[in-house]
Structure 1
Amino acid sequence: MSKIKFKLNGYGVRAILKSSEMQSLCQEEADKMASAAGPGYVSEPRAYTQRSGAAVYPSNADAWRDNLKNNTLEKVIRNVRSSGS
């Protein structure tokens, strides 16, 4: 076997993680999760220092209680990830 060594370009990786394409992918997944969780859950884009992201959270008291009682967002994340998305 040959031993191939490579070194990632940190600036290039950071540029990919902060790109608008990565932001749109994160937002798409967050939108899927928010719609799967049901009414009262919303998603929004987030900008972190080294990467792009998105958040899903309950937007009203009823959704907050539902999430607290049933772990709705945790179940949605598990189902969306296991479905191959």
Structure 2
Amino acid sequence: MELKVVASAGTLESSDIQIIIEPSTAGIEITLESTVMAQFGEAIEKVIRETLASLGVANAKVFANDKGAIDPVIKSRVQTAVYRSAQNNEFKWM
């Protein structure tokens, strides 16, 4: 899926994650801030990468600010941001 505009999903509330995604031409770049970085930073990044791959996103800059979100929340926020960025109204939730 091709990203067209900068888009976001999520909040900075407890147990949520804010995802800001923008088009890129240099592969996947993830900048992650998390209140649980030491314990779960790698796992959060893995969920983000897997979700992008499942949506066919090969190039994106992702800024993630995590406040303790669980995997399904991370996945849904990434999906929402991608669909918003691609300006795609044909949702295929997984």
TM-score with structure 1 setting the length = 0.41
Which protein is richer in strand relative to its size? 2
TM-score of the pair, normalised by structure 2: 0.38
More helix by share: 1
Which structure has more RCO (C-alpha within 8 Å, separation ≥ 6)? Answer: 2
